[in-house]
């Protein structure tokens, strides 16, 4: 069904699935899921299998999943099976950040939403929880390239709770944490005192705040809401030691990938997919399995937090 967005200004042709609409109406917690992992992050046919698996994880946790994408110029919050299949199999599917939503609507284009676009659309639909793999952040060599993910600015002005495994380890982690501090984004370590590194259990970077259970996260979120703060609460959920990528292999492959990007002149939006692809190839697929382990853990935790809220 097509409804108006829940924010201060309605979105044009904003589609909320029947399952999500019923959940919102009846008070069932809803967890937003991004769609770029389906269209750009995984090979076929595994991408569709994982998309269905993640939605089922949310349901088993007592919440309702809302995978978000733009189809034929219409932002969708919640996808049915044909919609998920389109994201997983349709050729030429765009990657859509917040800046791309308006032209996608105007041109009736289709695409998978990144963290920035998913956060925006989730909030406009009235959702409070978002689970993803790793956030974007400040790229290495920022001083010369000024390359920073749009995720950070959106998190600074969107009052969501975002469960992630830290930021992608291909980034400049200390600089990213500094930017999150500057932007007043609260970062909670979930049963960890150091910031996770996506493929890695820890980057070694200390965190100011640690929480031990979903109820503690919910208490922080309620305090944020009572204060009227508009930034996200990031819940940094570390990948298990048994699931992380071997740290020595990670560092060696990443060093080679960074050198290759410099040699090939890869910059801007092309850099992240280049490095992630190099990590998959250089680790014989182990980085992909670590990514999936992290996402599964984040989705399950987000469902628990949603129940507390």
Q: How far apart are CA 47 and CA 288, in angstroms?
A: 12
Residue 168 is among the residues annotated as catalytic for this protein: yes
Among 34, 55, 148, 304, which one carries the catalytic annotation? 34
Closest CA to 236 of 161, 181, 152, 309: 161
Q: Is 172 helix (H, G, I), strand (E, B) or coil?
A: coil
Residue 34 is among the residues annotated as catalytic for this protein: yes
Q: Is 255 exposed, middle or buried (0-12, 13-18, 19+ CB in 10 A)?
A: exposed
68 within 8 A of 101, measured Cβ to Cβ: no
Q: Please report, for residues 100, 112, 184, 197, 276, the alpha-carbon distance to residue 129 in angstroms, rounded to integers and kept in the order given.
A: 22, 18, 19, 21, 26
Q: Is 7 exposed, middle or buried (0-12, 13-18, 19+ CB in 10 A)?
A: middle
Q: How far apart are CA 245 and CA 64, in angstroms?
A: 30
130 within 8 A of 159, measured Cβ to Cβ: no
Among 19, 55, 148, 168, which one carries the catalytic annotation? 168
Alpha helix segments (H runs only) across the chain: 18-26, 36-39, 46-60, 81-89, 98-107, 115-124, 142-145, 151-156, 173-182, 214-227, 247-264, 271-282, 286-308
Locate 264 and state its tokens: 């090939």
User: Residue 211 forms beta bridges with which residues?
Assistant: 190
Give the DSSP letter of residue 193.
S
Locate 93 and state its tokens: 């599917």
Q: List active site positions.
A: 34, 168
């Amino acid at each position: 069904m097509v409804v108006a967005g829940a924010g201060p200004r309605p979105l044009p042709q904003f589609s909320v699935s029947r399952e999500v609409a019923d959940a919102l109406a009846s008070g069932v917690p809803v967890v937003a899921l991004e769609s770029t992992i389906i269209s750009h992050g995984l090979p076929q046919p595994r991408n569709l299998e994982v998309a269905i698996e993640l939605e089922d994880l949310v349901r088993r946790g007592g919440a309702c999943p809302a995978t978000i994408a733009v189809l034929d110029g219409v932002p969708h919050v919640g996808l049915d099976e044909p919609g998920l299949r389109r994201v997983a199999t349709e050729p030429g599917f765009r990657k859509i950040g917040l800046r791309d939503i308006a032209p996608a609507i105007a041109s009736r284009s289709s695409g998978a939403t990144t963290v920035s676009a998913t956060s925006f659309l989730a909030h406009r639909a009235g959702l409070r929880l978002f689970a993803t793999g790793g956030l974007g952040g400040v790229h290495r060599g920022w001083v010369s390239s000024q390359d920073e993910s749009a995720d950070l600015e959106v998190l600074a002005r969107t009052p969501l709770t975002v469960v992630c495994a830290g930021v992608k380890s291909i980034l400049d982690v200390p600089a990213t944490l500094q930017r999150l501090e500057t932007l007043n984004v609260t970062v909670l370590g979930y049963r960890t005192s150091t910031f996770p590194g996506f493929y890695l259990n820890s980057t070694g970077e200390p965190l100011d705040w640690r929480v031990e259970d979903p109820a503690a996260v919910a208490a922080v979120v309620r305090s944020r809401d009572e204060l009227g703060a508009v930034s996200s609460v990031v819940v940094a959920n570390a990948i298990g030691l048994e699931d992380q990528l071997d740290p020595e292999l990670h560092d060696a492959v990443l060093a080679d990938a960074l050198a290759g990007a410099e040699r090939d002149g890869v910059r801007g939006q092309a850099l992240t997919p280049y490095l992630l692809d190099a990590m998959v190839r250089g680790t014989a697929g182990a980085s992909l399995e670590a990514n999936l382990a992290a996402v599964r853990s984040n989705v399950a935790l987000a469902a628990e937090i949603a129940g507390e809220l």
